Structure 1
Amino acid sequence: MQLTPLNPSDHDAVGEVLGLLHAVRDADAPEGPRLVEQSFRAGLRQERPGLDVVHFAATDGGAVVGYLGIGLMVDDNPHLAMAELMVHPDHRHRGHGRALLAHYTEYAAARGRTDLTAGTLTTWGDGPRRPEAGVDFLERNDFTLALVNVRRRARTDALAPDDERRLWDEAVAASAADYEVRTWTGPAPDDLIESICRLDAQSRDEIPLGDIQMDAEQVDVARARAKEAATAAVHQVPVKAAAVHRATGEVAAITDVHAYEDPAATHASQGITIADPAHRGHRLGMLVKLANLRRLRERFPRVEEIWTENADVNDHMIAINTELGYEAVDALSVYQRRLRP
């Protein structure tokens, strides 16, 4: 097996990797969202703030048999690395996975990373069965379970109109006196960006991360605008809603959904939803998610379903999502291996 960096300009080579990724999805998790080719190709070229990313293609006998994507945290949390490893279903049980994992370990260790993470899809509850080979593989190679993120999906019309109206009225009744709802598509308004940075920096302290050690991100306006530019460069469109505290003008809660520019993409991805701890108890999470759902339907009527992930212990957000019609599909189990420095 040969492992070489994936050249974003090599259209055919990228196409072969895309074929592998589709084959893995169809074999292991056919219910999951389909990869959007336009965004994947653009993502191979795009730099990401706070993350150094490299992609490799594995070939054997002229055929692409594996893919390895590595992300190294930079600036904040320089101890941490993450990887996505995939082997074509027709080429498994031949040692390719071990070779990919060995390259990941060597690459990350040579660059000073001591905490390596990798995820695998696992069965959740009564959802569709997922192969157990990924868990067995990671555990055999000294990785231990660090975090379980449950993947859920909801149709954009999951709620009956009367139920949606009731939830909206309840959220407005709990918040309207002190908070205003703002929605937008694309870059954040200039008058909100600084307080959005403050909330963004809080997110790693507020969201369960299991056994993964991750310090808060240092987010300023330049970093936030760079993130927005990177999102636009990979042909994704953020749809956002915020609850703004009337007395101070500060963003008290925010949520975002990423839709795709590709007109064939009928799904979107839910990003972070966070409420400032000082403003909790006003149903702001429900308020901004409902407002954002309405904007998404108006701006992207072709989007039929939204996918989200929540840590299995994030009871508050899971309860909100359940009210909004999200149903569990499977879980992304994140495993971690700590190397000796």
Structure 2
Amino acid sequence: MSLRIAPVSVDDPASIDAWVEVVERIREYEFPYLPARTRRMAELMFEHAFPARAVEHQLAWVDGEPAGRLEVSRMTEDNLKVLSFTIEVAPRFRRRGVGRALFGEVLAYAREHGRTVLVTGASLSMPGLPAPDEAPGAFAAALGFTNTLPELQRRLTLAEVDEDVLAGMLAAAQAKATGYRLVRWRDAAPEELAEGVAYLDSRLMSDAPTGDLQIEAEKPDVARMRRVEEVIAARGRRTFHTGAVDEQTGALVAWTTISNDDETPWHAWQQITIVDPDHRGHRLGALVKVENLRFFRAEMPQVEVVDTFNAAENGYMIAINEQMGFRKLAAFQNWQRDLAKDGSTATAE
């Protein structure tokens, strides 16, 4: 077997074609319910990079065929010990040393950039949600990773939404949310809300469950947030936002987002939902989520499903999602290895 590992680059269109081929083989095998990654989506992703993050992609080639991929990602302004990575191997090339060779690249990258905490993920079997393949988790365990922070993916099928349930949720939330007004916007945040969005975004990793993951809260400011908005737009994604403003102070204290892509018009992602800790207990999370779903459906009637992820221990947000009609679709496990703690010499052995 001839194995080589080579970078993927926007300057090498053939490498992007091969990357899409590998990603699609894996999606069709493990995640057929997810939208396909199109050539255009991949090209835009490689062309437009998020700020404060360095990402590199490599492909493993076996006997001249693209067989697997590696993505390594490191933050450049915070989480300076952490290296996140994804290793995926096409089904017919598994158990042939491809994943281990790609992990050797991870360790080399960690040494080069002084990263000691490695974080990755894999599908997970839970009751009623069997993983399509147990090999990724077994591979992580064999490499010395410990499992932490299981997550569940849920899907809302819009044709099956119970409008009476949503109306009841909205009425109950409005009754508790006196002293707040709702705001809506598409894509970039209005100038008067920009600082509030950046603040709430900075709280996400502090407030959301993270299990044993050694991840610090990020510290985005308005300038970095604006750059993120530019990248999202350049990648062809639309975002729909609803927030709650404290009428006494004028501060944005709750915020949620749904995003959609022209390349996958039937599909959307429910993303961040966060409420400032000082304003919890007023049903603001339910209020903004239900109102944003109404906003999104009015603007994007062609969308059929909305997917979301939650940490399995995030009971509050899961309760809201399930009441709205989100149903379990798949489970995933985060894996972590602390090279400094385990005394690793950073080899793939």
TM class, shorter-chain normalised? over 0.9
How much does 1:36 deviate?
A: 4.4
Q: Does 1:118 align with 2:116?
A: no
Stretches of structure 2 lacking an aligned partner (at least 5 in a row): 344-349
How much does 1:159 deviate?
A: 2.2
In the alignment, what sits opposite 1:208?
209
- The verdict on how the C-alpha distance between 1:268 and 1:37 changes in structure 2, with shifts beyond 3 A counting, is farther
SS at match of 2:282: coil
Distance 2:32 2:267 in 1: 14
The letter of the residue matching 1:76 is D
In the alignment, what sits opposite 2:327?
327
Correspondences of 1:117-266 after superposition (within 5 Å) = 117-175=119-177, 177-262=178-263, 264-266=264-266
Kept after mapping to 2: 8 A contact 1:158/1:324: no
SS at match of 2:105: helix
Q: What TM-score, normalized to structure 2?
A: 0.93
Report % sequence identity: 32
SS at match of 1:146: strand
The letter of the residue matching 1:194 is E
What do you get for the CA RMSD once the two structures are aligned? 1.4
Q: Which string of whole-angstrom CA distances, capped at 9 and with x for unpartnered residues, describes residues 9-28 of structure 1?
A: 33332122212111111112
Aligned residues: 339
Distance 1:234 1:203 in 2: 23
- The verdict on how the C-alpha distance between 1:58 and 1:70 changes in structure 2, with shifts beyond 3 A counting, is same
Distance 1:36 1:151 in 2: 22
Distance 2:250 2:183 in 1: 11
How much does 1:128 deviate?
A: 4.4
In the alignment, what sits opposite 1:38?
40
Q: Which string of whole-angstrom CA distances, capped at 9 and with x for unpartnered residues, describes residues 219-278 of structure 1?
A: 21101101111111211111111011111111111001111132x431111211000111
The letter of the residue matching 2:120 is A
The letter of the residue matching 2:298 is E
The letter of the residue matching 2:225 is A
SS at match of 1:131: coil
Q: Which string of whole-angstrom CA distances, capped at 9 and with x for unpartnered residues, describes residues 207-228 of structure 1?
A: 0111112222222110110111
Correspondences of 1:264-283 after superposition (within 5 Å) = 264-283=264-283
The letter of the residue matching 2:45 is G
Kept after mapping to 1: 8 A contact 2:157/2:305: yes
Q: Which string of whole-angstrom CA distances, capped at 9 and with x for unpartnered residues, describes residues 121-170 of structure 1?
A: 11232124421111110101111112211111112343222222111111
Correspondences of 1:298-317 after superposition (within 5 Å) = 298-317=298-317
Distance 2:77 2:148 in 1: 23
The letter of the residue matching 2:258 is V
Q: Does 1:56 align with 2:63?
A: no
Kept after mapping to 1: 8 A contact 2:162/2:325: no
SS at match of 1:191: helix
Q: Which string of whole-angstrom CA distances, capped at 9 and with x for unpartnered residues, describes residues 38-57 of structure 1?
A: 32221112221221101111
Q: Which string of whole-angstrom CA distances, capped at 9 and with x for unpartnered residues, describes residues 30-84 of structure 1?
A: 2234334432221112221221101111112211011111101211111011111
Stretches of structure 1 lacking an aligned partner (at least 5 in a row): none
In the alignment, what sits opposite 2:346?
none
Q: Which string of whole-angstrom CA distances, capped at 9 and with x for unpartnered residues, describes residues 268-300 of structure 1?
A: 112110001111111111111111111211222
- The verdict on how the C-alpha distance between 1:131 and 1:72 changes in structure 2, with shifts beyond 3 A counting, is same
